[in-house]
Amino acid sequence: MSRDSPTSAPPPGHVLCRFDDLGDRDGKGFGFGGGRERFEMFVVRRDDRVFGYVNICPHARTPLDWTPDQFLTRDKTRLLCATHGAQFRIEDGFCVAGPCPGASLTPVPVAIEDGNVIVAGPIEV
């Protein structure tokens, strides 16, 4: 099966935000395009690293956040799907609790460049 880059996804090099605008273990969501072509993703900072994922739970196919930019458990150790409580590791998006064990979030390649969080490569879904 081939994986395609969504037509409304940001291109490699697109600046998402300033790294310093993300608190440690905080997340920020981003949306691009509209209608059926809308693409939603988020980034989470952990120490001096940033991780990006498509904002779709692999179980329910719903966005992880009900409240904007709220992607983490209360103790900020895991990513959380607000729909049904699935929990995912921050560093690789792997489901460790909830109704989708063994599934993973779809990664978005991101990097820190000149103090900005950027899309680092093509996004495949």
Residue 1 pLDDT: 32
CB 57 within 8 Å of CB 81 = yes
Listed residue (69, 64, 45, 46) closest to 54, CA to CA: 64
- What does pLDDT average to in each consecutive run of 10 residues of the chain (125 residues)? 64 97 96 90 97 94 94 97 95 96 96 98 85
Which structure tokens are listed for 13?
Answer: 């090099």
**Domain with 61 in it:** 15-119
- From residue 45, give the alpha-carbon distance in Å to each of 19, 20, 41, 72, 75: 8, 10, 14, 11, 14
Q: How far apart are CA 90 and CA 60, in angstroms?
A: 19
Residue 56 pLDDT: 95
Residues in the chain: 125
Which strands make up the sheet holding 39-46, listed edge to edge?
Answer: 27-32, 39-46, 49-54, 107-108
**Residue 5 maps to a domain:** no
CB 56 within 8 Å of CB 82 = no
**Residue 9 maps to a domain:** no
**Residue 59 maps to a domain:** yes
Judge if pTM exceeds 0.75: yes
Please name the amino acid found at residue 67.
Answer: T
CB 73 within 8 Å of CB 84 = no
Domain total for the chain? 1
**Residue 95 maps to a domain:** yes
CATH code, domain with 41: 2.102.10.10
